[in-house]
Amino acid sequence: MARACEITGKSTQVGGRYSNRVRATQYNPTGKVRRKANLQKRRIYVSELGKTVIVDISMKGLKTIKKNGAFATLKKAKII
């Protein structure tokens, strides 16, 4: 299974590189690149349950937890 954020669902994306040189790209080849999400393994304490949950989460997911609260966010994502 691919690494993905358990809250937002973010995972890797395939994108294109580009050359700064407008002409003569045969000397400066470009191609596809895999861009990875900023995933971190974090221990999050849920005070309503009184226990700690370990999640693989992106920074956007951490901001969501900070805004909405750990219990509500993890419950919506069906982690707890």
Whether 11 contacts 5, CB under 8 Å: yes
* pLDDT tens profile 1-26: 578 999 999 999 988 776 666 565 56
The reported pTM is 0.74
Residue span of the structural domain in which 50 resides: 13-76
Residue 4 lies in a domain: no
Whether 28 is in a domain gets the answer: yes
Calpha distance 42→38 (Å, rounded):
12
In a domain, 6, yes or no: no
Condensed to tens digits (0 to 9), the pLDDT of residues 46-80 reads 999 999 999 999 999 999 999 999 999 999 999 98
What is the domain-level CATH number for residue 58?
A: 2.30.170.40
Query: What are the distances in angstroms from CA 53 to CA 43, 49, 50, 74?
Result: 6, 10, 10, 9
Q: How far is CA 33 from CA 48, 60, 65, in A?
A: 42, 22, 30
Task: Work out how many domains the chain is built from and give that number.
Answer: 1
Inter-residue contact 30 to 17 (CB < 8 Å): yes
- The answer to the question of residue 53 being in a domain is yes
